[in-house]
Chains A and B, each alone.
Chain A
Amino acid sequence: MAEQELVFTESELEEIEKIKAKFPTAKAATLQVLWVAQRKFGHVKPEVQVLVADTLGLPHSHVHGVASFYTQYYKEEMGKYVLDVCTCLTCQICGGYEILDHLEKKLGIERGDTTEDGMFSLKEVECLGACGYAPMLQVSNEMYVNNLTPEKVDDLIDSLRAGNMPEFESMAMPQHKKRNAG
């Protein structure tokens, strides 16, 4: 990936001003502005954290502390798609680790790593709150892919390679079937 110059454009600065206007202090806008940065650069490496801090007029240490607290902020360059495979209790029981192992083998990387072509990063994460349709994974902090099987994972990888994000899947809980039907 070519080195990107670390600056915000005029329109991004405008967006940041709008975010700041929503909060009583610039400090409170840290989270949202970090998102602006991560959407633009694909990560919030220390250099980006400094950019965010300077843009907001905050101590560098504060932004670093916030960015390091949340796993959703990527503190290093990641693949185009980040696969967060849940291995917390429910997913684990329903085969989360089988899915993770399958992905490791399929992509030829270990958890925590990124494929050489820069397409996929694989992460093992804690509960994403989707225990009802375990095992599951999340793609790049966005779409959930539920009730995983090795075949479903293979399809997912193929479609991501083709540049298609998975569609949002509305999941019905068994106990709510009646309510939802009515």
Chain B
Amino acid sequence: MSEVFIDGKRYEFEGDHMALQFIMDLGKEVPFFCYHPAMSIPGNCRQCMVKAGQYIKNQDSGEYELDENGERKVRWFPKMQISCSLKLTDGMVIQTQETSEEAERAQKDTMEFLLINHPLDCPICDQAGECPLQIQTYKYGPEGSRFEVKKVHRPKRVQLGPRVTLDAERCINCTRCVRFTDEISKSHQLTIVSRGAKNYPTTSPDETFDDPYSLNTVDICPVGALTSTDFRFKARVWEMSQTPSIDITNGKGCNIDLWTRDNEVLRITPRYNKEVNDHWMPDAGREAYKLFNENRVSRPSITLDGDDQPHTSWNNAIETFAEILEANDSENILVIGSPHASVEENYAVNKFFNLLGAPNARFVSHIVPGSGDGFLITDDQAPNTNGCRLLNIDEASPEALRSAVNNASVVIILADDLVGRGVLSKNDLNNPYVITFATNYSDTTRASDLVIPITCVAEHAASYINVDGRIQRSFPAKETKYTNRRLNLEMSEGRLDRYGTSFDNWVSDDNKIDCRPAWDFLNKLAERLGLGFSYLHSRAILAEIADQIPAFEGVSYERMDEENGIQLITEQQEIKQD
């Protein structure tokens, strides 16, 4: 076991470690900008300097040489070392800014250089509040600048690509974005151009930064140089609350954070999960915030004459639903589950109608061959195809589903735009009475007779099983008409949520959707029908699933939270299935 002495404390280590990562893993801090654990180490921001040296060992005796006080003598390296690329060796001594005034001074001076040409526009900069340069200047930077000359001007508001905007003056040339396109997304679209105080990242003039992962560069940019064209100037980061969730736009299930203000999801950023998406997510997944805000089904609606689909009350919706179920033979009810809905929703819906005597639910997977890229974009367009499979919902071909629809008198569709994605046609839904549980208006809801608005992934806690067989769960991020951020102990509160009141003019209740979780609606329907079906929370549904279905044994929200998701299908099982 090798030993290293950091800020006077002894630590043991094995194998290769760089000082910076090792120090961070200890929970301590050294300021840095260009280093990123997922990428190569260029060592070009020079911010992570520490004082380092080696205890002197007597060559002959192997004993440490001691000074007059009996302390071990240190042979310091002649200059400050950048800790990001300083490989730990046995007996190394490191002093960070916490114990070495020299290191503190070196960091301060480096930062003074970085700030020479950096504009002082934090009050209007999108990065403010989550800006490494801002916070580290506050913590480690100089009080003022000795550079009284005019700052160098560089291009501003450059549209690098469809989704990324560059402000070159803010750039400190850490090259994280360039390395991202070289090493992670491999599009090689970015480079640093020009030199000295004038350089900044951009594309070749004949190209545009349309990398399908381009917005990750905005996340890793340690300053406000790269900003999201879409999110720019929409909100200050401290106004939003941040809630962990799962990307539902494809089968990978990237771990994400939903950023909400006034119950609107304003942006989506990736959340680190080594097993799934590392630090990254595709740009397409970030667009999903619109699904949570716009075109939402709010209040139930019933189709009357023709295409007229007026809103109705929940009581009327429940009564109509119950009457339809009572008027039809349960054998003729077709329940269609959904790879776009969660494990809990699929299970609850299937169980409810099974209790009524309806046949097992079916689902049609939503796979577009060739649309994946082998990284984080998958052929599977739905987040929970494996969930439907593990719940033993019958996987059907579009043809089989079409003939089943034609033979049914009542069709119940769970959150799946079957018409929009070409599985069914509008005409297929003409004859049976069609009831749709839906989050958003779609061709399917417009072809339905009764539409029940249900919560989306941003409004409920529910789990999804990704293409690799990993079960992961969401948290409620935005309130519905029937939930309350302060009473629901699972919801995170941002500064505005905590301190704003209804009487503050910057808080709005307008964006709360009139919808219920599918299971909650079924509770009410069961009450009306006199059915023994009641779940207080999705947690109870998952507990029952874990109890009833062997594939889910031992699965719970607690475990998912602690382990960042649980692998349910191992590769060996997959090979067996083949």
Chain A residues near B (Cβ < 8 Å): 46-47, 49-50, 53, 59-65, 68-69
Contact B194 A50 (CB under 8 A): no
Contact B204 A63 (CB under 8 A): yes
A53: B residues at CB distance < 8 A: 204
CB pairs A–B below 8 angstroms (17 shown): A46-B206, A49-B204, A49-B205, A53-B204, A59-B188, A59-B189, A60-B203, A61-B181, A61-B188, A61-B189, A61-B190, A61-B191, A61-B204, A61-B207, A62-B188, A62-B191, A68-B193
A68: B residues at CB distance < 8 A: 193-195
A65: B residues at CB distance < 8 A: 191-193
- Chain B, 187-227, CB within 8 A of any chain A CB: 188-195, 203-207
B194: A residues at CB distance < 8 A: 68-69
Chain B residues near A (Cβ < 8 Å): 181, 188-195, 203-207
Distance to closest chain A CB from B50 (angstroms): 31
B206: A residues at CB distance < 8 A: 46-47, 50, 60
A49: B residues at CB distance < 8 A: 204-205
The tally of CB-CB contacts under 8 A between chains A and B is 42
Across the two chains, which residue of chain B brings its CB closest to A66?
Answer: B191
Given A59-B188, A59-B189, A64 and B204 contact (CB-CB distance below 8 Å): yes
Distance to closest chain B CB from A55 (angstroms): 14
A61: B residues at CB distance < 8 A: 181, 188-191, 203-204, 207
A46, B204: Cα distance in complex, Å? 8
B193: A residues at CB distance < 8 A: 64-65, 68-69
Distance to closest chain A CB from B201 (angstroms): 9
A69: B residues at CB distance < 8 A: 193-195
A46, B189: Cα distance in complex, Å? 15
Distance to closest chain A CB from B182 (angstroms): 8
A50: B residues at CB distance < 8 A: 204, 206
B205: A residues at CB distance < 8 A: 46, 49, 64
A59: B residues at CB distance < 8 A: 188-189, 191, 204
Across the two chains, which residue of chain B brings its CB closest to A59?
Answer: B188
Across the two chains, which residue of chain B brings its CB closest to A49?
Answer: B204
Distance to closest chain B CB from A166 (angstroms): 29
Across the two chains, which residue of chain B brings its CB closest to A62?
Answer: B191
Known: A46-B205, A50-B206, A68-B194. 11 other contacts (CB 8 A): A50-B204, A61-B181, A61-B189, A61-B207, A62-B188, A64-B191, A64-B203, A64-B205, A65-B191, A69-B193, A69-B195
A68, B204: Cα distance in complex, Å? 10
A49, B191: Cα distance in complex, Å? 13
A59, B178: Cα distance in complex, Å? 12
B181: A residues at CB distance < 8 A: 61
A69, B194: Cα distance in complex, Å? 4
A65, B175: Cα distance in complex, Å? 12
Distance to closest chain B CB from A69 (angstroms): 5
- Kindly name the residue among A53, A63, A64 whose own CB sees the greatest number of chain B CB atoms within 10 A: A64
Across the two chains, which residue of chain A brings its CB closest to B188?
Answer: A59
Distance to closest chain A CB from B127 (angstroms): 24
Across the two chains, which residue of chain B brings its CB closest to A71?
Answer: B195
Distance to closest chain A CB from B175 (angstroms): 11
7 tightest CB-CB pairs across the interface, nearest first? A65-B191, A59-B188, A60-B204, A61-B191, A46-B205, A68-B193, A64-B204
Distance to closest chain B CB from A34 (angstroms): 14
Across the two chains, which residue of chain B brings its CB closest to A64?
Answer: B204
B188: A residues at CB distance < 8 A: 59, 61-62
A47, B206: Cα distance in complex, Å? 8
Distance to closest chain A CB from B184 (angstroms): 14
- Kindly name the residue among A50, A68, A69 whose own CB sees the greatest number of chain B CB atoms within 10 A: A68
A120, B205: Cα distance in complex, Å? 27
A98, B206: Cα distance in complex, Å? 40
A60: B residues at CB distance < 8 A: 203-204, 206-207
A64, B193: Cα distance in complex, Å? 7
A99, B573: Cα distance in complex, Å? 81
B192: A residues at CB distance < 8 A: 65
B203: A residues at CB distance < 8 A: 60-61, 64
A160, B205: Cα distance in complex, Å? 34
B195: A residues at CB distance < 8 A: 68-69
B191: A residues at CB distance < 8 A: 59, 61-62, 64-65
A47, B205: Cα distance in complex, Å? 9
A50, B189: Cα distance in complex, Å? 13
Across the two chains, which residue of chain A brings its CB closest to B203?
Answer: A61
- Kindly name the residue among B191, B193, B203 whose own CB sees the greatest number of chain A CB atoms within 10 A: B191
B204: A residues at CB distance < 8 A: 46, 49-50, 53, 59-61, 63-64
A68, B200: Cα distance in complex, Å? 11
Distance to closest chain A CB from B529 (angstroms): 64
A50, B204: Cα distance in complex, Å? 8
Distance to closest chain B CB from A43 (angstroms): 14
Distance to closest chain A CB from B171 (angstroms): 14
A63, B205: Cα distance in complex, Å? 11
Across the two chains, which residue of chain A brings its CB closest to B206?
Answer: A50
A61, B209: Cα distance in complex, Å? 11
Distance to closest chain B CB from A1 (angstroms): 20
Distance to closest chain A CB from B238 (angstroms): 35
Across the two chains, which residue of chain A brings its CB closest to B187?
Answer: A59
A157, B368: Cα distance in complex, Å? 68
A69, B193: Cα distance in complex, Å? 6
Across the two chains, which residue of chain A brings its CB closest to B209?
Answer: A61
A46: B residues at CB distance < 8 A: 204-206
A62, B181: Cα distance in complex, Å? 12
Distance to closest chain A CB from B172 (angstroms): 17
A50, B207: Cα distance in complex, Å? 10
A59, B183: Cα distance in complex, Å? 13
Across the two chains, which residue of chain B brings its CB closest to A60?
Answer: B204
A69, B200: Cα distance in complex, Å? 11
B189: A residues at CB distance < 8 A: 59, 61
Distance to closest chain B CB from A26 (angstroms): 13
A47: B residues at CB distance < 8 A: 206
A59, B188: Cα distance in complex, Å? 6
